[in-house]
Structure 1
Amino acid sequence: MEKNYKILNRDQIKYLAIVLMTFNHIAHILMTPGTVVYEVFEDMGYFTSITMCYFLVEGYFYTHSKRDYAKRLFLFALISEIPYLLAMGYFQLNVIFTFLICFCILLLLDSRLNKIQKILSVLGLILLSTLCDCALILPIATILFKFSRGNRKEQIQAWIIMCAVFFVLNVPGYAPVDAPYPFLSGYALLHGFYAIISWILAGIVIQVFYNGKKSEKYVFFNKWLFYFYYPVHLLVLWSIRFFLL
C-alpha cells in the first residue's frame, strides 16, 4: 500500500534547504548577533547542511560519473570562495569544499586500499575539514549515511548520533568566554539544543516525508540550482551590506 505521507521529492526538499540557508546567511551577513531574530534565522539554516550532505551520499550512488561529480564540486567550491570570504569577512573554506571532502571520503571507503590505509586516509580528510565551514560533523555524517543506507532503523540511529555529536560540538561555542566548564552553562546547553532542532526536523522530513524520487520537471534547472545559487546569493547579501548598510 502506498504511503500517502511520502509527499516530498528530493528537489522540493532541496528548495526548502536553499531558503533556510538564505535565512542563516542573512543573519550572519546583515544582522546583529545575539538578538532573538538572529538566533532564529541562524538555527533555521542548520537544516541545509545536513540535508545536502544526505543527498550528496545519495547522489554518489546514483551519479553516472563520480569523476564529473567531483570536478563539479571542486569547480563551484573555487567559484564560491571569493563571494564567501567577502560575505563572511574571515578566512575559511566554504561548505562546498566540505562536500568535496565528504565525496572523497566516499571514494576512499569504496577504494581498494586496505583497512588501515582507509582509516588513516579518512581521518586525514576529517581533520582537513577543520579548514572548512561545517567542519568535522559533515564528514562524520557522510560516513554514517553511507553505512546506514538502505536500512531505515540504522538511518534513524544515524540521525540520533549526528544530532548528539552536533550538540556536543556546538555547546562550547555558545558558552561564556570565562566559563570553565561549558557543559555546565545553562545558556550554552539551551542554545546547543536550539541548534539541533533543525537537524531533527531534517531527519523527520527525509525519513517520513521523502518519497525517494526526484522531480520529473525542470531536470537541468534542478541539477544546477544550488551550485549557482550559493555564490550568487552570497554576493547579493554582501552587496546589500557593503552598499546599503
Structure 2
Amino acid sequence: MSSTNLKILACITMLIDHLGAVFFQEYDIFRIIGRLAFPIFAFLIAEGFFHTHNIKKYLIRLAVSAIISEIPFNLAFNGNIFELGSGLNIFFTLFLGLLSIYIYDNYKRNGLYFVFLIGIIAELLNTDYGILGVIIIFSFYYYNRKFNKQALSYIVITLLLVVVDFASYQIINLQIFSILALIALYFYNNKKGVNLKYLFYIFYPGHLLILGLLKCVL
C-alpha cells in the first residue's frame, strides 16, 4: 500500500467521521470508522519528514493550511466562523508534530525536552489530540521502519488517550478502534504511488466548508 493509498483511505475515513459528528451523532459506526484517520495521517507526517525535499516548506504548508482550515472547521462543528475556546483543527496538531520531529532531528541531545514542550503547547492551544497527538506523530518518526515498535507505542499511547479525559466520554470509548489503522500501516510499501501531493491540503478545508454550509442550510 503506497502513501497515496493511505492518504486516500485516511481522507475517506475522516469524511465518514465528520459526517457522523455533524449529522449523525446518534450512530457510533461513523465515529468508529473515523478513528482510523488520525493514526494514518500521523504516520504519513512522520514518513513525509524522511521524503520531503524541503522540511521548512513542508512546515509552512501545514501552518498555512491550519490557518485556512480554521474557519471551515468552526463552521462545521460549531456553526460559527469563529468560536473562542472550541479547539483548533487537526492541521495544527500535524504542524506541531512535524515541528517536534524537525527540532529533535537538529537538537538530539536535548530534543526530547522540545518534543514535550511542543506537546504542552498543543495541549494549551487545545488542538485535536493535544499532547498525545504530537507524541503519536513523533513515535512514528522515532521508530521509523520498525513497525512492531511503532505499533506497540501507538497501542500504549492510545490506551492512555482512552483513559485520559481528552474529549467527550463517547469518543474516549471509541478511540480504542483507532488501533485497527495499524492493519493498513502494516501493508505500507514505502512507495509514493500516484502523485496527489496536495490532496489533503485541499480536501480537509473543502469538505469541512461543504459540511458547514449544509449544516447552516438544513
Q: Give me the TM-score of the superposition, normalised by structure 2.
A: 0.88
Q: Is the CA contact (8 Å cut-off) linking 2:22 and 2:211 kept in structure 1?
A: yes
* Aligned position for 1:227: 201
Name which of 5, 11, 22 aligns with 2:4: 11
Deviations 1:127-186 (A, max 9, x none): 111221121221111222122112233223223223322322368842xxxxxxxxxxxx
Confirm or deny that 1:66 pairs with 2:45.
no
Residue pairs, 1:55-204, within 5 angstroms: 55-89=44-78, 90=83, 91-112=86-107, 114-115=109-110, 118-130=111-123, 131-169=126-164, 173-174=168-169, 192-197=172-177, 199-204=178-183
2:16 maps to 23
| 1:119, distance to aligned residue in structure 2 (A) | 3.6
Q: Secondary structure at the match of 2:106?
A: coil
The 3 A distance-change label for structure 1 pair 28 and 194 is closer
Displacement of 1:195: 2.5
Unaligned runs of 5+ in 1: 1-7, 175-187
Check 1:121–1:76 CA distance in 2 against 1; reply closer, same or farther (3 A cut). Answer: same
CA distance in 2, matches of 1:41, 1:172: 17
State the 4+ residue runs in structure 1 displaced beyond 6 angstroms.
none
For 1:56, the aligned partner's letter is I
Distance in 1 between residues matched to 2:173 and 2:57, nearest whole Å: 38
How far 1:231 sits from its partner (Å)?
0.5
Give the TM-score normalised by the residue count of structure 1: 0.79
Counterpart-to-counterpart distance in 2, 1:114 and 1:152: 25
Query: How well do the aligned residues superpose, as a CA RMSD in angstroms?
Result: 2.0
Q: Which residue in 2 is equivalent to 1:180?
A: none
- 1:212 — aligned with what? 190
- Distance in 1, matches of 2:163 and 2:44, equals 24
Report the number of matched residues: 210
Name the residue aligned to 1:178.
Answer: none
